[in-house]
Structure 1
Amino acid sequence: MVSLRLMWGLLVLCVVAASPPRYARQAELDNYDNNNVDLDLNVEGGDLYDYYDEIDETQIEIDTLGPDEDIDPSNGASFEEEEEGEEKNVEHEEQEERRTVEEIDHKELPIKPQLIPSGSGESGTLMGPSAQGGMATCMLCTCLVGSVYCDDLKLDRVPPLAKETTHFYARYNKIARISKSDFANLNKLKRIDLTSNGISRIDDDAFFGLPALEELILRENSIRQLPALPPSMSLIDACHNQLGNTGIQREAFKDMPGLLYLYLTDNNIDHIPVPLPDSLRSLHLQNNNIQMMHEDTFCNPHDLNYIRNALEDVRLDGNPINLSRTPQAYICLPRIPVGALI
């Protein structure tokens, strides 16, 4: 009987030793040291069979993997529910995007200016909003920083300009009149070039209210009266117009301390528009009707030491004047004017 129990105990021991290491408290047989273990078959007075019968079940309890709280179905949605939630989120984002696009489409966009086609009764009229930063003009013209280029566009009026405009070019158009509202409130405007238009009339205060204006070019028009200009001028070019004998106001250039260039060629002018500021460097009066010059035209007859050093370029060729008759009129100049000496 004892032998049977002994054999049965050995069999159970072999089975336990051969089982895979799945128990949390199973002994590691690979590190089992027979020298340190005293296998007593009669464990404290009992046999091996009774010992295994009395083993606490907790010693051989197989550990099971408990559910992770992060993926516990009781604490969150299932995989199918998560997928459904993601689909709803995507659908919601698409709806928001469509709504945003619709809102943009419904916003009022700037009106692009157009030219009235020929045959409609008017030619080249700029259509579009008259302000809004001059955006309508920039859709038709070329805008680079503060410069606006509207050359050769068949315009018959000055287009609306942004307040930040510093240089304006509208050459080779069909503009016939410059009104006082065309350049109103353009406090940064420095240069205006209206070469080769059909300008015949300019309101007298069209340019005078421009505090930063320095250069005005009105070449090749039909201007009969030069308007009042601000004292900030440095260049005035009104060549090839119809100013005549009365087209320039009296002492028009006297209060321009920074005036450097004055070009009045081909205007049928019969006199030199004095007084001229000491800052003047170049005066072009070719092809007019100037017949005489006075001693005080350029010099000061009461001050023989007065010298006008800046004025080095005076053009009087093409006029019916003999410069040799009035040598005292330009003895203060660094150079003799260009013109007929006989």
Structure 2
Amino acid sequence: MKWLIVAFLLATFFLKNQKRESVAEVDSVQNKKNVNDFSPNFEIKYEDSEGNETLRQIFAKKIDGQVLTAHCFLRDEERSFYIPRITECVDLETGEIVTNDIKRFLLKKFKQNVRPCDVYRYEEWVERSYNKSKPVSENVGEFDINQKLRMTVVTYKEGEIQGEFLLEKVRISSYEIDGLYVVLLDENGDRHNVGLSKVISAEGIGDFTAYIENSYYQSDNGKVQRLLMDYNEVLSILIYLGRADASLTAKKRAKINEYMILIGADCTEDLIAKVSRRIKLELTDYKKIVNKYAKEISENQKKSFKETAEYVVGGREKAKPFGMAGLQYLDSKMKWC
């Protein structure tokens, strides 16, 4: 009986050891597989702190500041390389050889989310971007362009890139030095938000900032802004009176548009509708504007302006009390002929 117990214990011990060896063998094979899963993607010439240069094939993993972390096939382990000591870098996939701006080259390959000042030397970044940026009008706001352009720009992620982009729109940003950035769609369907000051060049366009400002004033939003800048008083008065019965109808907008075209404004009924949404006046504001415009309006415009004002309140006979009060105040200041 005892010998059966001893035999059972020996058999159990033997099986456990065999299982351990089997597991260890699997782990060893798995480790070898993990090591062989990747092949080198760069070949670098690297100088150590004493100036000794070695040629290494590496599998690059990440960049943190000035340190490149990679699997080194020469040492067969993960190593950290100080990027300024890399004197040459070869892309083993494309054969491209780089000896200058190696960090920028690696970052473009990684497409990491880094600050542009990490890609360029700080002095170069300042020179290429901020010192060359030009202020645009404070009135410029968001608008669509949808135009294809061949451009060179500095992006937040990739540094300087070139190509044909669809310039979709311009947007306002509190983070850009000039308050604006362009939304670009590249040929791969990726979008890039690029500050106006980071546009190095655009084919066929000399002054890109001036181009954006001119494009803005050709857009509907820009035309609305231009109307508010150039014709604020007359539009404010007519829209205030037109709302006297709480409804600025299409007929009223058409009449206002007719007068605006008469005095030289680049205007449409649709623009009048958009302008009206931007004008909100109280009675005190209305009176101040009337006082100012009464001193500016030319005599040859008064008749047409009076007819327009009377029309938008519904006529003197049918005007509601609120509209009539506004019209009477206008009468008192304009001194119609």
Q: Same fold (TM over 0.5)?
A: no
User: Quick check: which one's strand share is greater?
Assistant: 2
TM-score when scaled to structure 1? 0.32
- Structure number with greater CO (CA < 8 Å, separation at least 6) is 2
Higher helix share: 2
Higher Cα Rg, which structure: 1
